[in-house]
Amino acid sequence: MKCSLCQNDNLSTLYTVPNVPVFQNKTYATVSEAKNIMTGNVELVMCSNCGFIFNADFNRKVMSYDAQYQNEQAHSHYFQRYLRELIELFAEKRFHGMKIIEIGCGKGYFLEMLREKDFDVIGFDPAYEGDSPNIVRDYYSDQYSHLNADLIVLRHTLEHIDDPLKFLRGIARAVNYNAKIFIEVPSFEWILEKRAFWDVFYEHCNYFTLESLASLFQESEQGLLFNNQYMYLLSDLSNLFEQAVSAKETLHKFKISKMDELLLFYRKFVQSHPGMLVWGAGAKGATFVRLTDPNREYISAVVDINPKKQGRFVAKTGHSIISPEQLTDFAEERGILVMNDNYYKEIQEQIKGKHFNLYSLGAIQ
């Protein structure tokens, strides 16, 4: 096996997790359906040359994004504020007046926010459910080169592509290497810093550091977003390398085993707080409950504000997903563990007046 970015065959295993649901962001109508979903293995390996990290056991043939796939975070006021900040960044970068194409636009929420601020943007997503004339229910390819994009936006798309450099070269050819690209992906440095075992899942077949993402381009601008959980890169597609260059440093200095140590800590924490709830039925929450309470012995339910997840069940474990309003069905004084610390204050406000013990994931380590 070789690194798809630089063709180096010196790869080292960082982290392995067996029997992972191939979709953490799909929920299911019954417990039986949730428990009998397709699984795969995660074997994260790192290239010693460019620092690229990917799942060596990933099989793209089993990935099918459809209406069951729910990854929309915009129900949160905090996340809406983040998207507004991102739009301000777009304005600072003078993206107004550009013809923008957003690839992998999902439900189109960010795209519509951009259009409300007079950005000229068209979206592409084969799993799009709505009826917006500004979103094409298809994969972007050179058959759409007539759209003459000035800027390509990839927000949380590249980590789902098993050969990201080939994918980027295809985009570059479609625009004749004559457009800018804005890429936003999770930060693997943040995952390591927080020992976030709940942020490693099958859907993300690759992970980037600032350095490994920059190795794809001759020149680029980079920055951190969303309290350092995300990072971005802005470059001209004419700067895209045919092959990733060597990184100045890789992640050998980090001990991935510390993620396993934290997992053991949280298993004990969950067991010592029977009946607790977890807030967040996205990929983080689904991963956390599967690894800490696989048999539904200790965690009562998972809370989520997305109506399309409520009343359904978490992949593999079958934990029920409830609305915040349903918290009245549970005895107070029990714990609620917030899966993303960014939302802690927002959730604290939502349960104001109720006597639950709210735990920040980061604060109790």
Alpha carbon dihedral 335, 339, 340, 341, in 10-degree steps, equals 30
Answer yes or no: are the C-beta atoms of 309 and 281 closer than 8 Å. yes
Closest among 192, 152, 198 to 171, alpha carbons compared: 152
Q: Which pLDDT band holds residue 353 (cuts at 50, 70, 90)?
A: confident
Q: What is the pLDDT of residues 273-298, one digit of tens each?
A: 999 999 999 999 999 999 999 999 99
pLDDT at 362: 80
Number of domains comprising the chain: 3
Q: Which two tokens stand for residue 210?
A: 């600032």
pLDDT over 70 at 67, yes or no: no
pLDDT at 71: 61
Task: Tell me: do 276 and 334 sit in the same domain.
Answer: yes
The pairs formed by 89-95 with CB atoms below 8 angstroms and a separation of 24 or more are 90/114, 90/119, 90/182, 91/117, 93/182, 93/234, 95/119, 95/151
Instruction: Establish if 26 belongs to a structural domain.
Output: yes
With tokens 């895209």, the residue in question is: 240
Q: What is the pLDDT of residues 111-152, one digit of tens each?
A: 999 999 999 999 999 888 889 999 999 999 999 999 999 999
Least-confidence region, from 81-95, 246-260, 305-319: 246-260
Residue 45 structural domain:
11-61
pLDDT at 37: 95
Specify the CATH number for the domain of residue 311.
3.40.50.720
Q: What is the pLDDT of residues 296-344, one digit of tens each?
A: 999 999 999 999 999 999 999 999 999 999 999 988 788 999 999 999 9
CA distances from 246 to 3, 48, 90, 118, 182 (A): 12, 9, 30, 40, 22
Instruction: Establish if 250 belongs to a structural domain.
Output: no
Instruction: Establish if 2 belongs to a structural domain.
Output: no
**What is the DSSP track for 267-324?**
HHHHHTSTT-EEE--SHHHHHHHHHH-TTSSS--EEE-S-TTTTTSEETTT--BEE-G
Task: Tell me: do 233 and 149 sit in the same domain.
Answer: yes
Task: Tell me: do 261 and 233 sit in the same domain.
Answer: no
Task: Tell me: do 83 and 56 sit in the same domain.
Answer: no
